[in-house]
Amino acid sequence: MKNYELILVLNPQLSDTQVKETLEKSKKIISSNQGEILTEDLLGRKRFYHQIKKNRDGYYAYMKFKSPASSIKEINFNLKVQENVLRVSIVNETAEAAKK
């Protein structure tokens, strides 16, 4: 299993409870695809440089998780199709460390 970093950008019109529900749903998606959450952090609301789906800002959430490489496509797809998620970015942590 490899370590991955995930950045989720959520709709800015969500309430705090809706943000928590979306993050819980995202964690369940990772867990159901043989992943294990290592750390998570809600980075808060940030302004975009360019609009994303007609929004000027969004809630950022960061997670670090372990997962088999074969599950990443499925995790990425399932995270993207959530209605409250504007953007998803999954990066292989070891590949990023090797570039430095």
Q: How far apart are CA 45 and CA 58, in angstroms?
A: 5
Q: What is the pTM of this model?
A: 0.84
Kindly report the CATH number assigned to the domain that includes residue 22. 3.30.70.60
Residue range of the domain that includes 35 = 2-99
pLDDT tens readout for residues 25-48: 999 999 999 999 999 999 988 888
The domain total for the chain is: 1
Which helix (H) or strand (E) element contains residue 21? helix 16-32
Confidence tier at 9 by pLDDT (50, 70, 90): very high
pLDDT tens readout for residues 58-86: 999 999 999 998 999 999 999 999 989 99
